[in-house]
Structure 1
Amino acid sequence: MASGAKWDPRFAAAGRGVVTDVDHDLTSDEVADKFREYISGKTVVITGCSSQSLGAEAARCIAQHGTKRLILASRSESRMRQVIECIRLSSELACEIIPVEMDLSSQQSVRSAAAEVLKLAPAIDILINSAAACMIPKYTTTPEGIEMTFGTNHIGHFLFTNLLMPALLASANARVVNVTSFGHQFSNVRFDDINFDNGKSYEPFLAYAASKSGNLLFTLGLAMKLGKTNLRAIATDPGSVQTGINRLVTKEESILRGWSLPDGQPNPAIKWTTPAKGVASYIKAAYDPDLANKNGVAITAGGMDQSIAAYALDREGAERLWELSEKLVGQTFEY
């Protein structure tokens, strides 16, 4: 925790609260089998595809269920190639898989990556914004001076998605899937202080929570601005999964927050799920035809997510976030 930050007893309950209805038994493959006809032949872009990530699991599942082209956008090309190699080894695929280096915390990197993706794919059917930073222990900013968690999890994806919009709108039935978390319950977007008083009041979990609220409001914003087009935006919560996103959380802090037992083992009071079950919600959000008329909603693998805080469903908040995001990237996106 940042020096001077005040402990909030809700933090210890946060992990135990990450349950929604994602204790669904279906795996990503089982859901993908159901929607195979909608996966077949599509071009898909996924952010955050390093080893042992939910993005990597989504890539594997989608590649093995008949998608035509899969573009992975992540910070490390070598790690993406490891993921690609694992996918290739698991089965023979006709799917073309292309890695594109992108650091979401750098707007310059995002712009460069988006330009490369547009050259590779003039039409994009599915964009899954899976990448995320979590629990950065010390206050850090992006090259543009934005708090790192918000700058990565929301601003990076806001810019990337809008830059890819020409290709998304070129698809007959495009979808943007934004990955959120129950953690959003602990902070709305910090509209008046995204940088935590220049780090003086920085708290890692609140930074993550605010960014996840940003993902939800961005989903609503996309629906509001592009609802008359062929684009649909869906948010999804994969539930509590042990992945590399937790690598910055020390054993001591995990115990303090109630996410681990004193011996360091995962707290059984939390409904932990597997990557395959968590990613089932990605597949549902991206391909379920029943969601075509539910633009801007949030789901879990088990159905509609009933745990969303009111401020993350607020249309005025969505508009306010859009305007703030445009200001932070120095570009307007009008549709």
Structure 2
Amino acid sequence: MNSTAIAASGLRKAYGDKTILDGIDLNIGAGSIFSLLGPNGAGKTTTVNVLTTLLKADGGTARVAGHDIASETKAVRAAIGVTGQFAAVDDLLTGEENLQLMADLHRLRGNARQQVVDSLLERFDLTESARKQAATYSGGMRRKLDLAMTLVTKPEIVFLDEPTTGLDPRSRRTMWEIVRELTADGVTIFLTTQYLEEADQLADHIAVLDQGRIVAEGAPDDLKRRVPGSHIRLRFTHLTELEAAARVVPGSTRDDDALTLRVPGNGGSKSLRALLDRLADHSLEADEVSIHTPDLDDVFLALTGHATTEADAR
């Protein structure tokens, strides 16, 4: 696979007179974690379905793992794995049997089949529960089994459509560790999520989708810097120092009780360096310095005008 795992240009999809995707462009590097965020109905799942060849686009082009999604669907499907919003496990089968079934569907036989099954059970810490019915599994175990089933074919690219919805915090963090391990092995992750903390923790690159269009994209920290509210907070030991600093730093806001000074800034090292140099010029030194930037919730609200919601309709 080359350095670009997914490339899309002008993707469009509509249902009747309702436009779901209105000409989106994507360029996702191999071995990275890409996260697509958007409010309810923005088109996140539709994007996944188009890129995984489950839906045909009405316009535009895309290549996944170097293959055209319209003319090379079999090659695309051979290179990817998909984990949907709901665990696609058979409750009547054991965890081991679910994996064996997936291996059979991909024509793995004999020792090769069992080696893959055993290695995935061990990797996802499911060995002890391997011969228990999936119906007895907890939500976190079901999601791990679902992802393990996706990895039977060792895909180059894995699409995770809201993989941790409904999981408790501990199970969610376990999934995060697994995702990081996959990218360490060179797998590309395409992630949609309703948890902005999840995107912030995992994603190398984020795109925000709203009303069928990508309204912003970039690394998580870059997106945060676009939203007003970034500031540097300085804490001093004595009130006299705070007063002196407030006089030499225009636009700052004092909090005498906390002995802190809030200074507007973009969260970057350049503005911090300039501020500290200004204080040093006046023989002032803060006891504590911290940088505060908006989180992804602030970014999401500023860019889309919506609060975050549950999974989108399509």
TM-score, with length taken from structure 1 = 0.29
Question: Which structure has the bigger radius of gyration?
Answer: 2
Name the structure where strand makes up a greater proportion of residues. Answer: 2
Name the structure where helix makes up a greater proportion of residues. Answer: 1
TM-score, with length taken from structure 2 = 0.30
